[in-house]
Amino acid sequence: MTSNNPAAALALAVSSLLASADAGAVTVTSLAGAPDPGPLPGQQLVVSFDAPAAPGFSWTGGLATAIGTVRGVHTSPALNTSLYGYVSSAHPDPVATLLTPALTSISFYWGTMDSHNWLWVLGADLQPIHFVHLSTIAFDPIAYARGGSGRNRRLSITADGAETIGGLRFWARGRSFEFDDFAATLATDNMPGSGTVPEPASWAMLIAGMGLVGAVARRRGRQVQVAA
């Protein structure tokens, strides 16, 4: 899935149009700041690039990491002195996808926002449910032009209603799309100790199955004794 593949680029463009029309699936907010304003209340850090990601979070595609700024290649998020992630049109694959457990919210620090940074929010089936672009969020254009905190924001995405978030897809249509310090809130079904209680019919099937396993085990035990 790269910008060098016309079919893939067309598919991504079409999906962005479809996803942007479904604005009710999630609510997107952002807060400018340098350093990073930090996660929303209740969110836990799940992905940084200085330590392993939390269980259930993984990357596919053209993710790269760096420290610092290389002019014309990648720019460190404001006041960030550690590793951060990015995708770039200069790489063979300018698209990276963060796969997640089912989430009710996720946020990350978006470094040096650019118009060539494209982001898709993915649903539980990993299909796009919303499209985020510089033109789709509110910001102060004067502060943006000054750079610094005006071009670095904590972007927060919250699922609406029964919707859940299953991932984020980043596409750099230029150099580059930088991000760091992802924080999230797990959907209720993914919370520790939140396993659903089986219905009575399910309990009956479970007990019957355990009884069948026990009967088979006893029969095999008798067969072993006879053979001996």
The pLDDT tens digits for 199-213 are: 444 334 434 444 544
CA–CA separation, 118 vs 133, rounded Å?
Answer: 5
Half-sphere exposure (Cβ direction) of 53: Cα atoms closer than 13 Å: 17
**pLDDT per position as a tens digit, 15-49:** 555 444 454 699 999 998 888 999 999 999 999 99
Phi-psi region of 167 (alpha: psi -120 to 50; beta: other; left: phi over 0): left
Q: Which of 108-112, 156-160, 209-213 has the lowest mean pLDDT?
A: 209-213
CA–CA separation, 121 vs 131, rounded Å?
Answer: 6
CA–CA separation, 153 vs 180, rounded Å?
Answer: 11
Whether the predicted pLDDT of 197 surpasses 90: no
Average per-residue pLDDT for the chain = 79
CA–CA separation, 200 vs 25, rounded Å?
Answer: 34
- In the chain, % of residues over pLDDT 70: 71
Give the mean pLDDT of 66-93.
Answer: 91
Give the mean pLDDT of 185-191.
Answer: 80
**For position 72, what pLDDT does the model report?**
83
CA–CA separation, 101 vs 58, rounded Å?
Answer: 10
The per-type count for the chain, helices as H runs and strands as E runs, is 3, 11
- Vertex 138: Cα angle to 13 and 27 (nearest 5): 70
Whether the predicted pLDDT of 129 surpasses 60: yes
Considering only residues 34 and 105, tell me which one the structure prediction assigns the higher pLDDT. Answer: 105
Give the mean pLDDT of 119-135.
Answer: 94
Considering only residues 53 and 70, tell me which one the structure prediction assigns the higher pLDDT. Answer: 53
Tracing tokens 């029964």 back to the chain, one arrives at 162
**For position 93, what pLDDT does the model report?**
96
User: Which residue, among 148, 159, 173, 167, has the nearest Cα to 47 in the 3D structure?
Assistant: 167
Please give the structure tokens belonging to residue 6.
């016309």
CA–CA separation, 225 vs 228, rounded Å?
Answer: 5
**For position 138, what pLDDT does the model report?**
82
Q: Which of 27-41, 131-145, 155-169, 202-216 has the lowest mean pLDDT?
A: 202-216
Q: Residue 121 to residues 16, 64, 124, 154: CA-CA distances in angstroms?
A: 10, 20, 10, 15
Whether the predicted pLDDT of 107 surpasses 90: yes
Q: SS3 for 16?
A: helix
